[in-house]
Chains A and B, each alone.
Chain A
């Protein structure tokens, strides 16, 4: 049993606090915006996401005004099409997913007893990317240039320049940019949850919120890459006329639907699970007991995440797929209701086994469940293919998806706002306003969306900007429109409650709801997260370890001081949370903003086809990232280890699988490989739908792809040799091996391009050369990144910053190269050997 250290004298503690405060404090003035602290970034992130929510909500109100009466001409058809496209896009990509990341960045470190997430600058980079990309996408509607093909952008409507205009490019590039930010956040959260928990917090003691985030971040890692792969194909068609979705040249619009929904269905659960996670924190607090069935709910969440990847075809029941696959996906879609039901019943059981306080957060939570259950039940209905053939693409589906998303996500988020607000500025939101807002929202919501089930069954398709008067839809639509405004009024009350000045109110107590988890000891006035990092031995430490809060605030646990003036946190082992290392994280920096904005400029320049500006921005971004890596990562500490208190000394440097950098690289590359796998899926998809896959056109031949594959293997071996020599401290050999790897990569890439190039494969002629070129380009771009990494290691070695003990850069690069070697082998074997095998 680990016991806390002795209490230091008052002066000593004051001095410690002062040093900690100074290290973690925010810059002042305009430099405030260069802060990277999780509390600030989380707050900005959440506020931005909420502004996007209100914006998208306003778009919805215009739509409801237009649909209130038949044959209305309040807005034009084209403008209406922009409205619903942007409404869906913004709600999904700029609110629902980012809000979870925002809340996670804000809450996760205090909840798991950490000072910070492992990569605070990456978090800030993600935020600024999101901010810029979001403004770019939303702003388009003020120039009548918003995307207008629906939020799932089906080709050929969305690939046709004449029919979809620049809006489609804005959608593709703006959102790809944001997806990159989402994946960055996912990597940061996964590493944070696995490696930065407080000592003793074994994986089965983690707060449920952390479990859910881990699952959701993992889902993002597998769900977003297929969409990014789809975006690449899509944009190649729009920009360079490569015919991936053009049936006249062998393409197929259905491939986009598959890639989109392989992303799109898990997306629903990516949105829903974090909201359930909030309830999983709120329900035990107000039931005044630990959750009943901790293992049940964790397993159910894992099951939901897993199953959600097998359901995508239920969005495509009407595309004419064989009945046997409809039956399979029907069954899978029904199956996901089971783990979902388990999660709901865990809450019910917890409430039944506890004594419930019906607070405002609970009210929002219970209301959300009541709404969500309706959405779940209509989901069971539309998952039955014969029923879906009628309901699909009608207002019934509009009703269903809003019941799921608003009940399963917006209401729990509102509950979360009322619950967690005291952590933001130590004040409580008004109970009265909260209850009024709840009832307005609850009634308004049902009045809006319940009639839509009926309008849908009466035959009203979705995405129509108006409707004739004689079809019996008038009254139901009017009711929906009235309800929408009531609902919006309720939302506005929440907004007012949050924004109204509260400086005259007394400070709320530190743990106003008497909750049991660690985030409630963090003080909004302080930026350090926890005063000292505790040893945790229970699921609800504040309930089960009654003296813990005081010990933490008296600085009797780990890292109570910042003597070296650095921001520090603990790294622990993945399963048992044994302390392993002291991690020094990056502090305030402008480089994150420069990198994010220059990367954003690349995407914006591509949208308007400003090639030169794009190249300049890309170069700026590259330099900024290099500067960031060189100055801010793999830093060599001034001493090998440090005393963290409570009689424990930990190393300051780690490399390989025990370091957070290695995990981040590994996780990123898993996501990257998923995108690559999606492209390979595309290759074989085209093969399955065509009798003559190559359309009798020339392939890349067998020789060059195999030569390239062999050279990539040699480049990989040279990189491994460099790592090996480094471990033996043979510096000259290390550098020689790295130079060899660089040369081999260059030759291998040239050989890879030679295959399709020398066979004059024209990617605009047919989909076969196009998909071959895409795979080759993907590999070559990754090789270029791999080469840049090797050059970076070489520079580190020449600068004397790559040594036997300080080898993190080289080990991470070697890890990248494992993935690159696999990518190259698969690419060149597939394009070189597969056509020959036919």
Chain B
């Protein structure tokens, strides 16, 4: 932030100076300086000044760089590590915590004041992981694992987005980041590690009968698919379809019936052939998975 302010004001000042000189040069109808003086202008303005300024700026930036992006260490197995995998066009999220592996999708929750390590991967094409309010971006490249660490300063809900063009619905690949007090976070994570209390709802049989479980996982059921987002606690998320629409029963039903209407190019096929009441029942059950 300070870096940005310093650079912006510096840039504005330099621009004003240059443009003023150009204006003076263009406007004056007489010779302003003699040739030797003009050569000195090139030397000082064109060479010495930028060299000194840039040297200072670089020194400052290099001093800043390690603090902004410390090398993640993963030193302690008890630490929280979050693995995010970019998929077309959603985010697979797995929390590794005290030997547990807790799956989620499209929403990331973080405790305030703790530095959290991320490992970033991709399964299909290149994506880029960016939550502007929490820190800089990092690409997710197939075949590679990139590491990033973030530390939230205050609680709130922040929007993130994919910033590497990844196909048709690149514009519809955003992310919700919720930062919480550490105690609340710990409680939330513990609840996520278990199946939802409403997992026995009536939509469950329909969900399994129509084959949703071959792509989606819902903890506590036979649904163990890995191709699509984990839906174990779908109802507790703020947004649906990777940050695109509000998480309401209607939107869930609409998405099941025709995902392409909300997200062109999504891998999920349309289930408009299902009876509307079945879709509603599944949507209601999913919304209840808190």
Contact = CB atoms under 8 A, between A and B. Distances in A.
Interface residues of A, number: 79
Contact of B31 (A343, A353, A381, A389): A353
A134 B29 CA distance: 46
A377 B11 contact: yes
B247 interface: no
Contacts of B168: 77-78, 81
A830 interface: no
Contacts of B211: none
A471 B137 CA distance: 19
Contacts of A366: 22, 26
A379 B11 CA distance: 10
A562 interface: no
Contacts of A351: 22, 25-26
A390 B135 CA distance: 7
A380 B171 contact: no
Contacts of A342: 42, 46-47
A157 interface: yes
Given A77-B264, A318-B136, A348-B25, A386 B68 contact: yes
A461 B164 CA distance: 8
A64 to B, nearest CB: 16
A319 B58 contact: no
Interface in B1-47: 3-4, 7-8, 11, 14-15, 18-19, 21-22, 24-35, 37-39, 41-42, 45-47
Contacts of B46: 296, 300, 338, 341-346
B171 A467 contact: yes
Contacts of A362: 26
A323 B19 contact: no
B22 A348 contact: yes
Contacts of A180: none
Interface string B125-164: 1101010100111110111101100000000000101111
B39 A77 contact: no
A356 B28 contact: yes
A459 B175 CA distance: 13
B3 A380 contact: no
A699 B205 CA distance: 55
Given A296-B46, A341-B45, A465 B33 contact: no
Contacts of B144: 247, 252, 254, 320
Contacts of A394: 163
Contacts of A437: none
Contact of A380 (B7, B29, B39, B169): B7
B125 A157 contact: yes
Contacts of B11: 374, 377-378, 380-381
Contacts of B135: 389
Contact of B38 (A78, A254, A293, A327): A293
Contact of A384 (B25, B27, B61): B61
A350 B31 CA distance: 10
B50 interface: yes
A337 B54 contact: yes
Contact of A459 (B61, B125, B126, B161): B161
B165 A352 contact: no
A248 B62 CA distance: 36
A370 interface: yes
B10 to A, nearest CB: 8
Contacts of A693: none
A122 B164 CA distance: 40
A335 interface: yes
B54 A157 contact: no
Interface string A71-98: 0000011100100000000000000000
A13 B71 CA distance: 79
B201 interface: no
Nearest to A353: B38
A330 B71 CA distance: 18
Interface residues of B, number: 78
A390 B132 contact: yes
B99 interface: no
Interface in A419-472: 459, 461-468, 471
B259 to A, nearest CB: 14
Given A377-B14, A386-B69, A386-B136, A466 B164 contact: no
Central interface residue in B24, B38, B132, B138, by most chain A CB within 10 Å = B38
A641 interface: no
A292 interface: yes
A241 interface: no
A156 B142 contact: yes
Given A292-B39, A393-B128, A387 B4 contact: yes
Nearest to A394: B163
A355 interface: yes
A33 B221 CA distance: 74
Central interface residue in B8, B37, B143, by most chain A CB within 10 Å = B143
A548 interface: no
Contact of B25 (A251, A356, A468): A356
A707 interface: no
Contacts of A331: 58
Interface in A560-576: none
Contacts of B4: 381, 387, 390
Contacts of A254: 141, 144
Contacts of B61: 330, 384-387
Given A318-B136, A389-B135, A353 B161 contact: no
A444 to B, nearest CB: 19
Contacts of B19: 370, 373
A349 B38 contact: yes
B217 interface: no
Contacts of B244: 468
A385 B33 CA distance: 40
Contacts of B49: 341
A348 B165 contact: no
A513 interface: no
Central interface residue in B27, B30, B50, B126, by most chain A CB within 10 Å = B50
B187 interface: no
Nearest to B7: A381
A355 B29 contact: yes
B125 A156 contact: yes
B193 interface: no
B255 to A, nearest CB: 16
Interface in A220-275: 247-248, 251-254
B165 A390 contact: no
Nearest to A297: B42
Contacts of A335: 54
B43 to A, nearest CB: 8
Given A252-B143, A353-B33, A355-B30, A389 B136 contact: yes
Interface in A298-352: 300, 318-320, 323, 326-327, 330-331, 334-335, 337-338, 341-346, 348-352
B57 interface: yes
Contacts of B146: 319-320
Given A157-B165, A351-B25, A345 B136 contact: no
Contact of B41 (A81, A156, A352): A352
Interface string A547-589: 0000000000000000000000000000000000000000000
B87 interface: no
A377 B4 CA distance: 12
Given A334-B54, A352-B25, A459-B161, A296 B42 contact: yes
Q: Which 9 A-B pairs have the closest CB atoms?
A: A247-B143, A389-B136, A345-B46, A351-B25, A464-B171, A320-B146, A342-B46, A349-B38, A377-B11
12 contacts: A254-B141, A296-B46, A327-B62, A327-B65, A334-B54, A351-B26, A366-B22, A373-B15, A380-B54, A381-B4, A390-B132, A459-B132
Given A247-B143, A337-B50, A338-B46, 15 more contacts: A149-B165, A252-B143, A334-B54, A342-B42, A373-B19, A380-B54, A381-B8, A384-B58, A389-B69, A389-B137, A390-B136, A392-B163, A393-B137, A461-B130, A465-B170
